[in-house]
Amino acid sequence: MLGAVRSGCTGRALILGVLLQPVNAYWVIQMERIRYSAHPTTISLYFNTVFLLLVLAGLNALLRRVKPHWAFRQTELLLVYSMLGLGSSMAGHDWIQVLAPMITWPFRMATPENKWQDTFWQYIPDWPVLRDESIFRGYYEGATNFYQAPIVLAWLRPVLLWSLFIIALLTVMLCLNSILRKQWLEGEHLACPLVRLPVEISDPGNKVWKSPYFLLGFGLAAAIDTYNSFAFLYPTLPGIPIEWRDMRPYFPGRPWSAMGWTPISFYPFLIGLGYLMPGDFVFSCWFFYLFWKAERILSAAVGWDMIRDFPFANFQAFGAYLLFAVYSLWIGRGYFRQVGRHILGLPSRLDQSREAMSYRWAAIGVAAGMAVLIWFGISLGLRAWVSVIFFVIYFVLSLAITRMRAQFGTPVHDLHWTGPDTILSTALGTKAFAPRELTGFAWLFWFNRAFRCHPMPHQMEAFPMQGEGRAAGRGAVIGLTVAGVVGTLAAFWAMLHLNYEFGATTKAGSFGRESFNKLCSWLAAPSNPGYGQIGAIGVGLGFAYFLQTMRMRLVGWPFHPLGFAVSGSWEMNLVWLPLLIASAIKGVTVKYGGFKLYQRLVPVFIGIILGQFVVGSILNIVSIALRIPSYMFWQ
């Protein structure tokens, strides 16, 4: 992306990235947990990190005028951005925000009516939990000083042990990315589209800012958010309806009611993102979203909706993700063969001299990290082979998600409630697992609830932002390693600090409840293998293979298997219509103005994205500082 440039991994860049981690974690937790608004980590491009980068770039421009030799290089700013992106994932909606309340939830919420104490307390090991109610009462009730020695020391053990688990997860991801980088970014020339915006923001010579088209887009989006903020504060003003509205009330009768929650929205920044994405992918996202709705309506029309969860959309999507992971490995099989020869110390045609770490050390990192994770799984009650399969499935999904982001910059990839815990317990049936194992699955729920803020794609995207060469790659690895450790601790700190202040009873959401309610249903009603769900995985895999085959053989084939995979996810409900609008605008532009007009209009949509990100971020920061509600442009 940046070519051969000096590494951004300098002492001052690392220090800045570290100092901003607790600030960023505090902001993310305030938005997503305490205020339950904005939710930047539910979309692939985090607006909080983009805004912080924009602020740093502005301050750097001033510094360049006053003390030019003190100014940060572009790669230094981009390293800080990558560190903040990874830290945001740690504090994100589907990571430590889920884990932190789980540490105490089964003890706080146990009652004589739900019989949790008799049902599964005996299967919970001591290391991942905090059982002392005198310690965690303030977490739920609020108005408590967290910085008391007994409270801090009591939380220290579970926080450090879970942090070790998270660091092992991140180590495996980073080592896998180090192996995949050369094949994906240099061999297959994957563009990592989401990198474009931070690269342009941090470029001191970027001419986009002076473009009237950029100013038009920025001004339009900023005006919409500014006006809507006044309409939020003064309800007599009619707002500009960009937020989602549910269409279900307009289709009350069967079989149309089977479509379920079907929101329409007009988020401008998503229209901007859609305009910058490949046309066939954007088209496939909204087309297959409507395809899934048609499946549900047809199933209700013929009476198949009596089968619970039919047509098993999540499992079909899982099959498509699986196909995408296998396909990614298959097309790079020659490269991976040469990597294997390096690992075994055999002669290889592959040059690894410019890699951040040797392939052998990367493989050792994967093996060591997996060993730690498997041990954690066993300590939670899983049999060794179950623990192995669990984490293999997880990293297969991680590989697919990272490839999706690197190739197309997909805006969402949540795959709600379809992690390895769900796949194994459904495919094999809960009768195949002892109660202790099912309890172990419940404790591994927090990073498998959904995959919206998955950290692995952020690691991969850091490599092209640091340029080419061994020094650049090593800089990315060092920065990401530091960010993973500091970002994890900062996220735990923000969760504990804010919940002891505001009280988690009304702020912790349903995350702890989801995991342990599911566990109780598993234990109360043991199930046989889910042959329908297994079949749905096969159908999803087969249909995605058909789409990929047709795409390779027919020029102009409009349906992309990745669009089929991501369109079945929960988050696509909120983005399908903006992507449809972007697809229409892009199609008309290319058809009547050609590629030249398309390129000329790109600054308009970059401006729309930044207009919403900047105004929305400022409004949010002001509302947090003043402790007042505020209008938010997303969710």
Percent of the chain's residues with pLDDT above 90:
89
Written as six digits, the tokens of 516 are 């342990």
Which residues, 6 or more positions from 242, have their beta carbon under 8 angstroms from its beta carbon?
224, 228, 265, 266, 267, 268, 633
Average confidence (pLDDT) over 619-631: 92
Which residues, 6 or more positions from 320, have their beta carbon under 8 angstroms from its beta carbon?
540, 541, 543, 544, 561, 562, 564, 565, 568
Crossing angle of the two packed helices 149-181 and 359-379, in degrees rounded to 10: 140
Q: What is the DSSP letter of 32?
A: I
Res 84 pLDDT > 90: yes
Res 80 pLDDT > 80: yes
pTM recorded for the entire structure: 0.96
State the alpha helices, DSSP H only, in 277-355: 279-301, 313-331, 333-343
Q: CA triplet 135, 136, 142: central angle to 5 degrees? A: 115
Kind plus residue range of the DSSP H or E element containing 571: none
Kind plus residue range of the DSSP H or E element containing 174: helix 149-181
What does the domain layout of the chain look like in residue ranges? 11-626
Q: How far apart are CA 360 and CA 363, in angstroms?
A: 5
Q: What is the pLDDT of residues 368-420, one digit of tens each?
A: 999 999 999 999 999 999 999 999 999 999 999 999 999 999 999 999 989 99
Tokens 């220090």 found at: 15
CA-derived radius of gyration, the chain: 24
Res 3 pLDDT > 70: no
Q: How far apart are CA 28 and CA 537, in angstroms?
A: 35
Q: How far apart are CA 362 and CA 177, in angstroms?
A: 9
Res 472 pLDDT > 80: yes
350-364 burial code (b ≥16 CB/10 A, e <16): bebeebbbebeebbe
Q: For residues 536 and 312, is the Cβ–Cβ distance under 8 A? A: yes
Q: What share of the chain is helix, strand, coil (3-state, %, to 5)?
A: 70, 0, 30
Residue 13: pLDDT band by 50, 70, 90 thresholds? very high
Half-sphere exposure of 201 (CA within 13 A, CB side): 29
With CA atoms as reference, report the closest residue to 451 among 346, 537, 571: 571
Res 4 pLDDT > 60: no
3-state secondary structure of 245: strand
pLDDT at residue number 8:
87
Q: How far apart are CA 459 and CA 171, in angstroms?
A: 11
